[in-house]
C-alpha cells in the first residue's frame, strides 16, 4: 500500500492538493495497480495538435519536473521558475517557431497528473480565454504554481525507477533516440535509463538502408568499419519514427553519426530539389564549416539502382517540423 499523503503539507503551498474526488488519486492508493495506473496516466497525456505535427510542450515540462523530482526537489513550482527554461527547451527541441511555455503549464491540468493554482488565491480559470488558455501575463502576475499530484510524487519518490520509465516513454513518444541524451542533459536529469528501445522492425530497416547506400553516408561519403562491423554509419528516418515515419527506403537515409544527429536536430535538412539544406542557426569554427556548413547545396548520394531517395512527403515533414529555418544560401 502506498500512502497517499501530500509531500509538503503545512507549507504555504499546502492548499495545492488533489481533488478529493479524483479517480486517479483513488487508483494510486490501490496496491498492485499503482505502477500500471501511473504509466497509463502519463501515456495518455494528449500532446499532438494535428496529424503528425509536433507539440512537445507537455513532455518537455514533465521532463523538467521529473528531473527536479529526481534531484530531490518535489512539490509546487512557480511558473516564473520554469518559464525561461521551458522556452529554451522549446526553442532547442521543439518544432520551428515553438514558444509559449504557458500552454503546457496550464493545459496539463486536464491530463489528471498536474495541478495549478494561484499563490495569491485567485481563481485562474476565470482568466481563461476562448482557447481555454490563461495568458502568460496572468500566470506571472497571479503567481501561478503547478505540481504533480502529491500522490504521484509520493509514488515516484518511493520508486525512482518509475521516474526513468516515464521519462523514457515521454522521450520515445516525442523525439528520435539521437536527441534523448541532449534533452536529458538540458533538463538536468541526474539518473537515467536506456531509452533507445527500438521497434522490432528497426533492424531490418537499418540493414536495408545501409545496403542500398553501400554503407556510406549520403551526405559526406563516410564509410567507417571496425573489423567486420559498420562504424559510425547509421540508418536515419527522415520523418521521425515517433511521428509515424515508416521503415521504408523512401523515408530513410544512410548517414554517419554526425550527420544523423545534425538531421534530427534540425541543423541539416533536405530541400525540395534533394540537396542538403544547412540551417543559418548552425555556426562554429573551421571544423563546423568543413564537416557541416560545407555540405550546403550538395546533392545527396543516390542509392543503388532501383532504389529511391527520400520522397517529398517525408522531406517536407522534416522541413516543417524539424529543420531550423532559415536555410543558408548556397
Ligand atoms: Zn556524413
- What is the full per-residue pLDDT of the chain (330 aa) written as tens digits? 333 333 233 333 334 555 544 556 666 665 557 888 899 999 999 876 555 678 899 999 999 999 999 989 988 999 999 999 999 999 999 998 888 999 999 999 999 899 999 999 999 999 999 989 999 999 999 999 999 999 999 999 988 889 999 999 999 989 999 999 999 989 988 877 666 565 555 788 999 999 999 999 999 999 999 988 899 999 999 999 889 899 999 999 999 999 999 999 999 999 999 999 999 999 999 999 999 999 999 999 999 999 999 999 999 999 999 999 999 998
CA of 61 to the centre of ligand 1 (A): 33
- Whether residue 138 is found in the same domain as residue 277: no
Q: Is residue 132 part of a domain?
A: yes
Point out which residues pair with 225 in neighbouring strands: 230
The pLDDT value given to residue 29? 61
Return d(Cα 113, Cα 28) in angstroms, integer. Answer: 11
Q: Is residue 8 part of a domain?
A: no
- Whether residue 52 is found in the same domain as residue 181: yes
- Whether residue 70 is found in the same domain as residue 169: yes
- Whether residue 267 is found in the same domain as residue 237: yes
CA of 232 to the centre of ligand 1 (A): 9
- Whether residue 269 is found in the same domain as residue 181: no
- Whether residue 37 is found in the same domain as residue 181: yes
CA of 277 to the centre of ligand 1 (A): 14
Residue (of 58, 32, 39) closest to 47 by Cα position: 58
CA of 176 to the centre of ligand 1 (A): 18
Ion ligand 1: residue ranges with CB closer than 5 A? 217, 219-220, 222, 256, 259
- Whether residue 156 is found in the same domain as residue 221: no
The pLDDT value given to residue 93? 93
The pLDDT value given to residue 287? 97
- Whether residue 314 is found in the same domain as residue 219: yes
Q: Is residue 270 part of a domain?
A: yes
Q: Is residue 3 part of a domain?
A: no
Q: Which of 187, 218, 235 is the last residue of a domain?
A: 187
CA of 223 to the centre of ligand 1 (A): 9
CA of 203 to the centre of ligand 1 (A): 20
- Whether residue 141 is found in the same domain as residue 262: no
CA of 218 to the centre of ligand 1 (A): 7
Q: Is residue 173 part of a domain?
A: yes
CA of 75 to the centre of ligand 1 (A): 45
The pLDDT value given to residue 312? 97
CA of 194 to the centre of ligand 1 (A): 25
Q: How many domains does the chain have?
A: 2
The pLDDT value given to residue 34? 82
The pLDDT value given to residue 198? 54
Return d(Cα 183, Cα 92) in angstroms, integer. Answer: 9
Q: Is residue 246 part of a domain?
A: yes
pTM of this prediction exceeds 0.75: yes
CA of 310 to the centre of ligand 1 (A): 16
- Whether residue 210 is found in the same domain as residue 117: no
CA of 301 to the centre of ligand 1 (A): 11
Q: Which of 126, 152, 187 is the last residue of a domain?
A: 187
Q: Is residue 235 part of a domain?
A: yes
Three-class DSSP category at 269: strand
Domain span at residue 274 reads 205-321
Q: Is residue 226 part of a domain?
A: yes
The pLDDT value given to residue 190? 82
- Whether residue 244 is found in the same domain as residue 177: no
In degrees, to the nearest 5, what angle opens at C-alpha 157 toward C-alphas 156 and 160? 70
The pLDDT value given to residue 195? 62
- Whether residue 183 is found in the same domain as residue 210: no
Amino acid at each position: 500500500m502506498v500512502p497517499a499523503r501530500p509531500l509538503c503539507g503545512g507549507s504555504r503551498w499546502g492548499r495545492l492538493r488533489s481533488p478529493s474526488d479524483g479517480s486517479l488519486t483513488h487508483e494510486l492508493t490501490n496496491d498492485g495497480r499503482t505502477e500500471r495506473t501511473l504509466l497509463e496516466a502519463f501515456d495518455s497525456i494528449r500532446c499532438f495538435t494535428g496529424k503528425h505535427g509536433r507539440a512537445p510542450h507537455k513532455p518537455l515540462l514533465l521532463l523538467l519536473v521529473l528531473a527536479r523530482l529526481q534531484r530531490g526537489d518535489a512539490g509546487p513550482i512557480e511558473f516564473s521558475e520554469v518559464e525561461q527554461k521551458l522556452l529554451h527547451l522549446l526553442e532547442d527541441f521543439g518544432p520551428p517557431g515553438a514558444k509559449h511555455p504557458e500552454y503546457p503549464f496550464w493545459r496539463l491540468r486536464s491530463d489528471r497528473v498536474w495541478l495549478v493554482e494561484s499563490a495569491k488565491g485567485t481563481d485562474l480559470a476565470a482568466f481563461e480565454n476562448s482557447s481555454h488558455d490563461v495568458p502568460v501575463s496572468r500566470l506571472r502576475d497571479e503567481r501561478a504554481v503547478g505540481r504533480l499530484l502529491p500522490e504521484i510524487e509520493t509514488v515516484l519518490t518511493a520508486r525512482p525507477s518509475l521516474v526513468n520509465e516515464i521519462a523514457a516513454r515521454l522521450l520515445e513518444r516525442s523525439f528520435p533516440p539521437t536527441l534523448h541524451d541532449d534533452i536529458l542533459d538540458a533538463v538536468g536529469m541526474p539518473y537515467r535509463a536506456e531509452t533507445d528501445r527500438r521497434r522490432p522492425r528497426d533492424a531490418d530497416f537499418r540493414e536495408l538502408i545501409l545496403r542500398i547506400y553501400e554503407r556510406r553516408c549520403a551526405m559526406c561519403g563516410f564509410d567507417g568499419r571496425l573489423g567486420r562491423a559498420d562504424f559510425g554509419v547509421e540508418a536515419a528516418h527522415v520523418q521521425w519514427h515517433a511521428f509515424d515515419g515508416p521503415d521504408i527506403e523512401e523515408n530513410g537515409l544512410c548517414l554517419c553519426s554526425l550527420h544523423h544527429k545534425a538531421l534530427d536536430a534540425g541543423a541539416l535538412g533536405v530541400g525540395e530539389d534533394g540537396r542538403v539544406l544547412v540551417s543559418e542557426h548552425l555556426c562554429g569554427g573551421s571544423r563546423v564549416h568543413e564537416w557541416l556548413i560545407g555540405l550546403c547545396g550538395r546533392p545527396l548520394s543516390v542509392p543503388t539502382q532501383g532504389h529511391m531517395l527520400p520522397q517529398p512527403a517525408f522531406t517536407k515533414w522534416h522541413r516543417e517540423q524539424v529543420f531550423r529555418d532559415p536555410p543558408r544560401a548556397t
